[in-house]
Structure 1
Amino acid sequence: MTEMFSSETAGLPRPDAGTLVARTAGQDWQSSGSDGFLVKPLHEDPATGRRTWLMKVEPGAYAPAHAHEEFEELYILEGSFDDGEHTYHAGDYAIRAPGAMHESKSEAGALVLVIYSR
């Protein structure tokens, strides 16, 4: 398996008590390590491997077939996104099993909530 996407900085940790807030509107998008895929890390827990990100997929972005070691959950907030098997539109949700091969691409661009978990 190949991890296709990464973040430059971590999102919020899991709180021990109370509430943590990420004010993402003023944050810059970060490189994910894959051209055309930008991320804003919201939550990352190294102990469990859980990552919650906003991912901006630029029009024409393409990542070749890859798989993740974790479950991958996708909720399409804006635009459309294609994984080589299905095309998803705003309001669609998908969950992918660890090791499931897929592509990542968007002709028109998309905004996606992505959650990786074990």
Structure 2
Amino acid sequence: MSMAVSDIHIGPNIQLFKMDEIDWVNVGKPGLFYKPARVDLETGEFLGLFRFDAFTESGVHQHEDVGASYILSGSVTDYSGSFTPGCVGINPPGDTHDAYSYDGVLITSRLEGSSIYPPKPDELQAIHPGAHREIFKNMGRARDPIVVPYKLLDMAVSPDMPDGIILRTLYDYAGTSHDFRMCSLHFDPVTEIPEFLTKGGLDIFVIAGDLDVSGMAAKSNQFVTVAAGSTAALKSRFGCHILTWSENPVAFSGADIKDPFGF
């Protein structure tokens, strides 16, 4: 079962999700919550926010598909180190760990699937939507090198962007079944990306500032989703910082512009 929550439509294919108007879902385990813009409780696909209260752990789990996240506030720690504000957190398929937060944490995430938790007789109370109990698969000693705390601002800036746009590709989904991109975009004031056509889905989270998506106003702590086959244009009046998850390169009509979402 999939659902989108508290959405505003601009045409049939662009939606806005005001996260401060969406309730937190308590998963049953004290201190663990999620807040969905989009969630499928069968497949575990998810777009939204996760929250750990202080001194809370996820429990040991194994990711069945990619989780691509960004730390908004607080911190969360596992055996690879501590993920603090401004850190990107990537969990490829098969990544197995127990996440613990000493001071609480707020995370924005897109999950392509759910997680496995060890078999136990008690009811599963997991922060990952669609999680289930099963014996872990393919446990190896080596962890994917992508699973380390790294700062967004330490990533290289991509060349050939329009004036006033700073693009950083944060994750290219290499070695997975997806050819997606997770990126960061900084817009200077009075900057725009002209109209483009999406070939796959495009998800946007506004970290800070103002973003206009084809006439729809979005601001901090809001998601915008653009469906495949849609036309959209992005601009900012006062400047903004956004995260994007893009499933395919976009196409521009009559403009020689490099794909602004990491392809």
TM-score (norm 1): 0.76
How many aligned positions are there? Answer: 109
Indicate yes or no: 2:39 matched with 1:44: yes
User: C-alpha distance in 1, partners of 2:44/2:25?
Assistant: 20
Q: Structure 1 residues 29, 45: CA separation in 2 closer, same or farther (over 3 Å shift)?
A: closer
- Unmatched segments (≥5 aa) in structure 1: 1-8
- 1:48: how far off? 7.5
Q: Structure 1 residues 64, 49: CA separation in 2 closer, same or farther (over 3 Å shift)?
A: closer
Q: Structure 1 residues 115, 61: CA separation in 2 closer, same or farther (over 3 Å shift)?
A: same
2:69 to 49, 74, 80: 74
- 1:38: how far off? 0.7
Indicate yes or no: 2:4 matched with 1:11: yes
Letter of the structure 2 residue corresponding to residue 95 of structure 1: I
Report the equivalent of 1:91: 86
User: C-alpha distance in 2, partners of 1:84/1:10?
Assistant: 34
SS in 2 for 1:22: strand
Structure with the bigger RCO (C-alpha within 8 Å, sep 6+) is 1
- 1:37: how far off? 1.3
Whether contact under 8 Å (2:4, 2:38) holds in the other structure is yes
- 1:65: how far off? 1.5
Structure 1 segments, 4+ long, off by >2 Å, are 9-13, 15-18, 32-35, 44-50
CA RMSD of aligned residues (A): 2.7
Q: Structure 1 residues 35, 68: CA separation in 2 closer, same or farther (over 3 Å shift)?
A: farther
- 1:114: how far off? 1.8
User: C-alpha distance in 2, partners of 1:74/1:82?
Assistant: 14
Q: Structure 1 residues 30, 47: CA separation in 2 closer, same or farther (over 3 Å shift)?
A: closer
Letter of the structure 1 residue corresponding to residue 20 of structure 2: A
Max Rg structure? 2
- 1:26: how far off? 2.5
Q: Structure 1 residues 109, 46: CA separation in 2 closer, same or farther (over 3 Å shift)?
A: closer
- Unmatched segments (≥5 aa) in structure 2: 114-263
Q: Structure 1 residues 99, 35: CA separation in 2 closer, same or farther (over 3 Å shift)?
A: farther
TM-score (norm 2): 0.37
Whether contact under 8 Å (2:36, 2:48) holds in the other structure is yes
2:48 to 30, 45, 53: 53
User: C-alpha distance in 1, partners of 2:52/2:41?
Assistant: 25
Report the equivalent of 1:103: 98
SS in 1 for 2:75: strand
